[in-house]
Amino acid sequence: MQELRWIWMNGKLLKWEEARVHVLSHALHYGTAIFEGIRCYRTSKGPAVFRLSEHIQRFFDSAKIVRMTLPYSKREIEEAVLQVVRENQVEECYIRPIAFRGYGRMGVDPTECQVDCVIAAWCWGAYMGDKGLTEGIRAKISSYVRTYINAGSPRAKASANYLNSALAKMEARELGYDEAILLDKDGFVSEGSGENIFYVKNGVLFTPHPYSILLGITRDAVIQLARNLGMQVEETLCTRDDLYLADEVFFTGTAAEITPVVEIDNRQIGSGKPGPVTRKLQEHFFRIVRGEDSSYRHWLTYV
Ligand code: PMP
């Protein structure tokens, strides 16, 4: 992670090394935090943030689910995100707003702890490497089950959900794979450790229904884009066999963008190379985020 100069913390810009928290912050002990991951892309008109208002809306939705009142308005957080990009003078970056229960009181109940709010940014290339984007990655169905809807809240981008993701990711990598695919408690495919999943069969695009997953903003973008390109898109129950027998599989996410999956559990997917639908969606997606497709201009906020 390349250090930048400024981090926004509780309304002030602090130097990177001075943005610190107390070791007895509630969130550090009990995972009481919610966060976002947003990308800002280089365009011919300067840096542009992709789907800023949708990310900030999800930030506030996550806060509502975990019963955290943010001491800022959506507009103030949006403005602060833009300020962080501007002040750090970067063309492209990954932006991480986080709100967490800070220092105040120990014990599980967070309600008496203050809510701290931070926005950091750093330069981040392809999440699973440039080779992953162009040649595809190998995934494994995880032995870990995705957090159940009434145990954690998958709709919230909550830090506590990411122990589940981290365990799955570590397991997959230790076994020599790039990424994990988690099933839900009923055995249906939910998502990757930090990505949503799609598959293509006979020209139709399928993705798991929106119940046991984080409702990804890239997922939504890909659904809209595919429909606009005339494709049929179905949100469905999806089994591991559907993935094994798919013509193409890919992950979507802010960090992962559109990453082809060419092998799952040592079974080759389709031709074993990124397929034509995946490549077409990637091509359109990267044109959109770089401001080269005016019909999606409303998805960009120029810094
Ligand atoms: N699922 C999980 C568990 C994630 O962490 C992410 C990344 N935020 C996604 C899906 C994809 O969401 P988005 O496209 O909004 O980044």
Residues 6+ apart with CB under 8 A from 158: 31, 33, 34, 62, 65, 66, 152
* Helical segments of 89-216, H only: 129-135, 162-174
Query: How far does the centroid of ligand 1 lie from the alpha carbon of residue 255, in Å?
Result: 8
Predicted confidence at residue 3, as pLDDT, reads: 85
256 φ, ψ (degrees, to nearest 5)? -80, -15
Of 157, 169, 273, 280, which one is the catalytic site residue? 157
The atom of ligand 1 lying closest to the CA of 161 is 3
Question: In this structure, which amino acid lies at residue 231?
Answer: M
Tell me: pLDDT of 42 over 90: yes
Q: Is 97 in the pocket of ligand 1 (CB under 6 A)?
A: no
User: Cβ distance 162 to 192 under 8 Å?
Assistant: no
pLDDT (0 to 100) of residue 2? 78
> From ligand 1's centre to the CA of 169, what distance in Å?
14
51 near 299, Cβ under 8 Å? yes
Closest C-alpha to ligand 1, atom 2: 194
Q: Is 221 in the pocket of ligand 1 (CB under 6 A)?
A: no
Give the pLDDT score at 177.
98
What whole-number distance in Å separates Cα of residue 113 and Cα of residue 242? 46
Residue 123 is classified by DSSP as B
Q: Report the pLDDT averaged over residues 181-186.
A: 97
Give the pLDDT confidence of 100-122 residue by residue, as tens digits.
999 989 999 999 999 999 999 99
Please state, as a whole number, how many other Cβ atoms lie within 10 Å of the Cβ of residue 30.
17
Q: Which residues of 254-290 are buried (b: 16+ CB within 10 A; e: fewer)?
A: bbbbbbbbbbbeeeebbeebbbebbbebbebbeebbb
Reply yes or no on whether the pLDDT at 180 is more than 90.
Answer: yes
Which helix H or strand E contains 27, and what residues bound it?
helix 26-30
pLDDT of residue 98: 98
> What pLDDT does 152 receive?
85
CATH of domain 6-122: 3.30.470.10
Residue 11: strand, helix, or coil: coil
| 273 among known catalytic residues | no
Residue 232 banded pLDDT, cuts 50, 70, 90: very high
Task: Provide the 3-class DSSP secondary structure of residue 37.
Answer: coil
Q: Is the CB of 88 under 6 A from ligand 1?
A: no
What lies within 8 Å, CB to CB, of 146 at 6+ separation is 154, 164, 182, 183, 184, 185, 190, 191, 212, 213
Is 157 strand, coil or helix?
coil
> What's the chain's length in residues?
303
- Cα(266)–Cα(224) distance, integer angstroms: 31
**Ligand 1 within 6 A of 153 CB?**
no
Task: Look over the chain and give the mean of its residue pLDDT values, rounded to a whole number.
Answer: 97
Q: Measured from the CB, is residue 195 less than 6 Å from ligand 1?
A: yes
Testing ligand 1's pocket by substitution, the residue of 52, 162, 214, 289 carrying the most ligand atoms inside 8 A of its CB is: 214
For range 25-33, the mean pLDDT: 98
* 3-7, 37-41, 227-231, range with the lowest pLDDT: 3-7
* 8 Å CB contact between 250 and 258: yes
Q: For the chain, what are the domain ranges?
A: 6-122, 129-289
Q: Six-digit token pair at 84? A: 């962080």
Check if 252 has its Cβ closer than 6 Å to any atom of ligand 1. Answer: yes
φ/ψ bin of 31: left (φ > 0), alpha (ψ from -120 to 50), beta (otherwise):
left
The pLDDT, as a whole number, for residue 238 is 98
Task: Using the mean position of ligand 1's atoms as its centre, give its distance from the Cα of residue 157 in Å.
Answer: 8
Closest CA to 253 of 184, 192, 173, 177: 192
Q: Taking a C-beta distance cutoff of 8 angstroms, is the pair 258, 281 a contact? A: yes
| pLDDT score of 282 more than 90 | yes
CA distances, 17 to each of 3, 13, 14, 133, 219 (Å): 9, 12, 8, 32, 34
Choices 3.40.50.720, 3.20.10.10, 3.50.50.60, 3.90.1580.10: CATH for 129-289: 3.20.10.10
Q: State if residue 196 touches ligand 1 by the CB under 6 angstroms criterion.
A: yes
pLDDT surpassing 80 at residue 1? no
> What is the arithmetic mean of pLDDT over 183-195?
97
Closest-lying ligand 1 atom to the alpha carbon of residue 214: 1
- Cβ(211)–Cβ(236) below 8 Å: no
